[in-house]
Amino acid sequence: MMNVKKMCVVILAILLTSAINIRAQIPRSEHPRPQFERNEWANLNGEWTYTFDFSESGLERGLFNSEGFDAKIVVPFCPESKLSGVGYKDFINNIWYHRKIEIPEGWDGKNIKLNFGAVYYTAEVYIDGKFVLRHFGGSTSFSADITSFVEAGKKHNLVVYAHSDLRSANQGAGKQNLQCKSYGCNYTRTTGIWQTVWLEAIDQKGLQSAQVITDIDQSKIIIHPRFYSESGNNLNITILEKGRKIGKTTVKANNSSIAIIPVKKAKLWSPENPFLYDVVYEVTDEKGQVLDKVQSYLGMRKVHIEGNKIYLNNKPFYHRLVLDQGFYPEGIWTAPSDEDLIEDIKLSMAAGFNGARLHQKVFEERFYYHADRLGYITWGEAASWGMDCNSEITARNFLSEWEDIVVRDRNHPSLLVWTPMNEAWWPDQVQYPRFVTDLYEMAKNLDPTRPVNTVSGGVHIVTDIYTVHDYEQDGKRLKNILYNEKGEFKQTPNHINHGKNMNIGFNGLAHSLQFDFPKYTGGQPYLIDEFGGIKWTVDQQKNKGGSWGYGNAPKTLDELYTRLESQVDAILSLKDQVWGYCYTQLTDVEQEQNGIYFYDRTTKFDMNKIKAIFSKTPETK
């Protein structure tokens, strides 16, 4: 007869195996917020039901009361994607989702948060037919407190309604198609839920957020916590170095509290040594009982600008970036697995890049987590293409979304530069300057620790970094365009529109001549953060216009390597004028076939030759 000890071991093994099997059945089952992780959470990814609502009559038909729709979809993959099980590629203006949720009995007495990584574009949340929350913004995370709508141990109907009006020009589209089919550098759309959905149990007086600033010059960590409810409780913060406690402090659990923790012999985060400290936050009552516990991490590093250079940890840091659009053949905006996020970073580093401009998409937090771990520099960007940047409605929509982006990601050490917009080329003289200035000031107020590249390759109004785009294919000509013999820098195309024939004035008066767009005159970093884009298909000679890229395609691989090296060498030779670059792009994306890798991430070129080119620095060139 089996003794009690052996029986316990067998039962534990069965439970563990069952948990692993359940986890394996859930797509994207890993915790979506590695920098703010609690033990009590439940992943809601997997099979939901859905229905399209092309007539936009769902509210009238009471779809928010649904107990299940006829069709099935796999969350968190968008309905346009193969992995969703739907694969509908045409415009989807309205979609309704449903699934049953059950709150564990052990969560009774706690606040229940329903979290969404991202839903494109406007989301409405209902529990058992009751309206819970509305959220605007297709790229940002949000939460709904559903405590008053649910009971522990009972099942409830969760309904999510997503609406998108991509062609309105009032919302950021990024690289999503504004036409029916993909064309040029615009690709398959993403609608509805496209990042992880999860439940979380939190004490009513728990920790809501923590802004972390690392001061390497004084070897201190500064943390500003925020709580769901202020109280007489304490917040204990512990800093660990590979499991060893190296710092601890206690502050009152109030939003006015600031925790300052000295760190002796601090290990700095850098691409060469991406060291991360573990952080444990614990809210305790007057008896010392832990009410809320959050696991986190941080990297001690500093980024700043002096003159025309960007510095990392007080040393000049030259950016050798690649444009990463974050598209996947089967998942569109959503990586099929956590391993795919890691693989993209490793592929970029294997090609010789030290980081990426995360282009026209807000990447999920786990991408930043892996970049933090692997020592991979990132520039954080928003999905701004498709917007009318002269519209006050657009500004209203985008500013609130931009605020959420900065607040969500500002603690990641790998993120060095903010880039809210890309290639805004048709500005007016009134609303556009106001909009761009607001974006800049918002970023600096929310996060004063990073430089802002306000409009990459577009019309700069106020910016810390001046960036230009140029796809000239000949290296010598590219060099002369960027900085010619007369000592003149290439300017962003701020001459395209000077407000002529536009009613942009106050009380009907034209103000088109009252504002002069600024030009680059030196004194700040100047980068070419888009260049290259050399087209190369599977069979270059047989291609008959089915692909898209920049310039005339080279006839041979040797010609491609020579052209590429001439472009990189030209930029590196301007080290006193141009402080870094971003090559277009990491992978092919659908019909745009100018990546370093194919769309499925398989090898496209001789990677030894590619790495030798992109590993060059101004010193080694």
The CATH number assigned to the domain holding 161 equals: 2.60.120.260
Instruction: Provide the pairing of β-strand 234-241 with 277-284.
Output: antiparallel
3-state secondary structure 292-358: EEEEEEECECCEEEECCEEEECCEECCEEEEEECCCECCCECCCCCHHHHHHHHHHHHHCCCCEEEE
User: Which amino acid does the sequence have at 66?
Assistant: S
Same domain, 331 and 280: no
What's the pLDDT score for residue 493?
77
Confidence grade of residue 501 (pLDDT, cut at 50, 70, 90): very low
pLDDT at position 1 is 47
Q: What is the amino acid identity at position 547?
A: S
- Give me the sheet containing 111-116, strands edge to edge: 41-43, 197-202, 111-116, 142-145
Q: What are the beta bridge partners of residue 274?
A: 269
Structure tokens belonging to residue 25: 């059945």
pLDDT score of 7: 53
Q: Is 23 among the domain residues?
A: no
Are residue 293 and residue 311 in the same domain, yes or no? no
Q: Are residues 35 and 184 in the same domain?
A: yes
Are 164 and 53 found together in one domain? yes
The reply to whether omega before 121 is within 30° of 0 (cis) is yes
Tell me the per-residue pLDDT of 363-378, one tens digit each, with 9 for 90 and over.
999 999 999 999 999 9
Domain with 72 in it? 29-202
Domain count, the chain: 3
Of 248, 279, 298, the residue that ends a domain is 298
| Digit-coded pLDDT (tens) for 109-129 | 999 999 999 999 999 999 999
Give Cβ neighbours of residue 24 (< 8 Å, ≥ 6 apart). Answer: none
Residue 493, Cα to own-chain centre: how many angstroms? 27
Q: Where does a domain end: 251, 274, 298?
A: 298
Residue 621 lies in a domain: no
What's 328's domain CATH number?
A: 3.20.20.80
C-alpha of 95 from chain center: 24
With 0-12 CB in 10 A as exposed, 13-18 as middle and 19+ as buried, what is 395? buried
Bridging pattern class, strands 130-136 and 122-127: antiparallel
Output 380 or 22, whichever has higher pLDDT: 380
Residue 209 located in a structural domain: no
What share of the chain in percent tops pLDDT 90? Answer: 87
Over residues 402-426, the pLDDT tens digits come to 999 999 999 999 999 999 999 988 8
- C-alpha pair distances (Å), 30 with each of 24, 160, 185: 10, 22, 32
Whether 619 is covered by a domain: the verdict is: no
Tokens representing residue 455 in the block: 């409009």
Residue 288 domain-assigned (yes or no): yes
b/e 201-219 (16+ beta carbons within 10 angstroms → b): bbbebbbbebbbbbbbeee
Task: Answer whether residue 24 shows pLDDT above 50.
Answer: yes
Q: Could you tell me if residue 210 is inside a domain?
A: no
pLDDT at 19: 45
Structure tokens at 34: 């590695």
SS3 (DSSP) at 363: coil
Q: Report how far residue 333's alpha carbon sits from residue 191's, in angstroms, rounded to the nearest whole number.
A: 10
Residue with tokens 């948060």, as numbered in its chain: 113
Question: With bands split at pLDDT 50, 70 and 90, how would you rate the model's confidence at 594?
Answer: very high
Query: Is 529 exposed, middle or buried, given 0-12, 13-18 or 19+ CB atoms closer than 10 A?
Result: buried
Number of Cβ atoms within 10 Å of the Cβ of 9? 12
- 3-class state of residue 476 by DSSP: helix
Neighbouring residues of 145: CB distance < 8 A, sequence distance ≥ 6: 111, 112, 113, 114
Same domain flag for 50 and 155: yes
Claim to verify: residue 410 and residue 522 sit in the same structural domain: yes
- Cα separation values, 88 from 28, 83, 95, 140, 295, Å: 21, 11, 12, 23, 39
More confident site: 18 or 98? 98
Give, to the nearest 10 degrees, the angle between helix 392-409 and helix 365-374. Answer: 40
| One-letter identity of residue 253 | A
| Spatial separation of the C-alpha atoms in residues 176 and 164, rounded to whole Å | 12
Query: What pLDDT, on the 0 to 100 scale, is given for residue 14?
Result: 45
Give the pLDDT score at 545. 55
Which pLDDT tens digit goes with each residue over 446-462?
999 999 999 999 999 99
**Same domain, yes or no: 325 and 294:** no
Q: Is the pLDDT of residue 11 over 50?
A: no
Q: Is 533 left (phi over 0), alpha (psi -120 to 50) or beta?
A: left
CA distance 158 to 49: 11
Which CATH number covers residue 290? 2.60.40.10
- Is residue 16 one of the residues assigned to a domain? no
Q: Would the pLDDT of 506 be above 70?
A: no
Is the same domain home to 328 and 391? yes
Q: What pLDDT was estimated at residue 518?
A: 87
Per-residue pLDDT band for 6 (boundaries 50, 70, 90) equals low
If you ran DSSP here, which 8-state letter would residue 187 be given?
B
Give the whole-angstrom CA distance, residue 613 versus residue 553: 19
DSSP lists the bridge partners of residue 297 as 278
pLDDT recorded at residue 538: 73
Examine the domain organization and report whether 457 and 423 are in the same domain: yes
Q: Which of 202, 235, 256 is a domain's end point?
A: 202
- Assess whether 132 and 254 both reside in one domain: no
Flag whether 10 is in a domain: no
Q: How confident is the model at residue 4 (pLDDT cuts 50, 70, 90)?
A: low
Confidence of residue 226 (pLDDT cuts 50, 70, 90): very high
Q: What is the pLDDT of residues 36-90, one digit of tens each?
A: 999 999 999 999 999 999 999 999 999 999 999 999 999 999 999 999 999 999 9
Give CA separation, 311 vs 92, 580, 586, in Å. Answer: 45, 12, 25
Pull the structure tokens for residue 27: 């797509």
Domain shared by 364 and 463, yes or no: yes
- Residue 268 and residue 151 share a domain: no
Q: Give me the percent of the chain exceeding a pLDDT of 70.
A: 91
* 285 touches 291 (CB < 8 A): yes
Tens digit of each residue's pLDDT (9 = 90 or more) over 141-200: 999 999 999 999 999 999 999 999 999 999 999 999 999 999 999 999 999 999 999 999
CB 551 within 8 A of CB 557: no
Pairing of strands 309-312, 303-306: antiparallel
Please provide the average confidence, as pLDDT, over all residues in the chain.
Answer: 92
- Residues 276 and 240: beta-carbon distance below 8 Å: no
Arithmetic mean of pLDDT, 20-38: 84
pLDDT at residue 542, as a whole number: 47
The three-state secondary structure class of 366 is helix
Q: Residue 29, Cα to own-chain centre: how many angstroms?
A: 19
Residue with tokens 């903010």: 418
Residue 492, pLDDT score: 85
